[in-house]
Amino acid sequence: MSAAFQPALRRSGTTLVVAAVLAVIVAIATACSASPAKASSPSMDRSTASAPGLRGLRPCADPALADFSCGTLRVPVDHAKPRGRTLDLPVTVQHGPASAPVLLNLTGGPGQPGVSFAAKTKQRLGKALDGRRLVMFDQRGTGSTALSCPGLQREMGQSDLVTPTQAAVKECSDIVGNDRAFYGTQDTVSDMELLRRALGVRTMTVDGTSYGSYVAERYALTYPHGVDHLVLDSVVPHRWTPEGSLSLASMPAVRRVLGLVCKELSCTTDPVADLATLVKKNYDGPALLNMMAVISVVQPKMEFVPGMLHDAVNGNDGLLQGWLQGVVGEVPPAEFSQGLHAATLCMDQAEPWGDSDTPYAQREAAIAKVKRTLSPKQTYPFDVETATDNGLVQLCRGWGITPPDAISGKRNLPPVPTLFLAGDHDLSTPWEWARTEFDKAPHGEVMLVKGAGHSVQSRGVDYPEVITRLDAFLDRRH
């Protein structure tokens, strides 16, 4: 992948760069194994004919899933009304003895499906799956049940941070309607517990990446009896704070990571100062921060970044513009649902104004207060507007008023073996988050991978020591 990608960057034509960036992002975000199902609109007409449970589990038709069975998990739309409307969530279960331990792997976003990643996940985890059964499912609102919001999908692609228009936000909120209340993380947690029961297992290893790590933590807090091991890769803390939506960890992390890059390269320029200069030159701060986060996913070594930033400061910004355009590329909702992304984050995130039921006028006042009080030192090399105008804030600023989700108030994770995996070049979920969460894990251990970016398990070819460590960890008894 990187060998094909880097030459296109060297040629530096904007069209070539955009094509290369989109190719890499799509390769990472979509499965090699199964074609995603067509996106559907919100589940207003799902069957209510039968109770929750696994249905139609039979050998998968896709040759890439030859050693898996495929079916669906029927769950209530509203877990408080188990006899009401239902959703059928695709599930794939690796063949093996019924007594074999289950490893439930959770994808991220929120917005990514799961089943279409199963074959690739099995390949990446390699020997760590020996004697275990891999299970993956499409979290509600993704894949075949994807929430489809055309405007938001077009404007944000797979991004967290690119700023959407309020018209696109309102359109999506109206499309999802009152069902906004049923797409929080806690709804997915309840689905996972139904899946555990349907599989007939007492406990599961829950392995989550990025947003999936947050889902794993929330499941462990809600159903500690159902977990034997936790694997948290590219960690999102289980207790949201407004600093998260304001990117107040990611912006300083850019300084740290560029420092690490320059230590390796013996830079003759100052990329942090160059980035600050570009922000002052009226480049879009949230778009630049989003670009840096995406680069940490697809090209975590970042060898070209100092030169790219310095060239842009000196007027040669073709490569920079190529990255800025290329990282947003639109994808179908079944591959990444921005509707689900919005519905989940706007219910779960702690925003400057508080919960998801805060009136709009109070939201505006809270943003204005942050702009007045936030210190430029907290956001450097970006500006204060990067904090308040990024997609995480602006997405939820205009999102429909929704009853907040019930979130566990527990400060510590349950006392089960917990492995934290982090790359020190990750700017999407900075290493500092893993360190914070580790302090709340009674039986935690950390593996920090030098030079790695986001989702270190998915880079098993580059970092085989990660899979070796994971294999040894999963053999540790609870």
Task: Encode pLDDT of 82-119 as tens digits.
Answer: 999 999 999 999 999 989 999 999 999 999 999 999 99
pLDDT of residue 2: 28
Cα separation, 48 vs 469, in Å, equals 45
**Across 459-469, average pLDDT:** 86
pLDDT of residue 51: 62
pLDDT of residue 50: 56
**Tokens 């850019």 appear where?**
254
Q: If pLDDT is split at 50, 70 and 90, which confidence band does 407 have?
A: confident
At residue 256, does pLDDT exceed 90?
yes
At residue 206, does pLDDT exceed 60?
yes
Q: Supply 30's token pair.
A: 């979509």
Q: What is the CATH number of domain 53-147+183-238+408-474?
A: 3.40.50.1820
**Tokens 């020997």 appear where?**
127
Cα separation, 159 vs 171, in Å, equals 18
- Tell me the longest C-alpha to C-alpha distance in the chain: 68
**Tokens 């995406």 appear where?**
294
Q: Supply 77's token pair.
A: 């739309």
At residue 453, does pLDDT exceed 90?
yes
Query: Whole-structure pTM over 0.75, yes or no?
Result: yes
At residue 44, does pLDDT exceed 80?
no
pLDDT of residue 445: 96
**Across 439-460, average pLDDT:** 92
**Across 443-452, average pLDDT:** 95
Where does residue 85 rank: exposed (0-12), middle (13-18), buried (19+ CB within 10 A)? middle
At residue 434, does pLDDT exceed 70?
yes
Q: Tally Cβ neighbours within 10 Å of residue 419.
A: 24
Cα separation, 332 vs 338, in Å, equals 10
**Across 134-143, average pLDDT:** 98
pLDDT of residue 121: 95
Could you give the percent of the chain with pLDDT greater than 70? 88
pLDDT of residue 279: 96
pLDDT of residue 22: 40
At residue 229, does pLDDT exceed 80?
yes
Contact 210, 396 (CB under 8 A): no
pLDDT of residue 325: 87
Q: If pLDDT is split at 50, 70 and 90, which confidence band does 283 have?
A: confident
In terms of DSSP H, where are the helices of 327-400?
Answer: 338-348, 360-373, 376-379, 384-388, 391-397
pLDDT digits 0-9 by tens, 149-190: 999 999 998 888 999 999 999 999 999 999 999 999 999 999
Average confidence score pLDDT of the chain: 88
pLDDT of residue 473: 96
pLDDT of residue 186: 96
pLDDT of residue 1: 29
**Across 445-468, average pLDDT:** 90
Q: Of the ranges 39-48, 102-111, 234-243, 456-465, which one carries the lowest mean pLDDT score?
A: 39-48
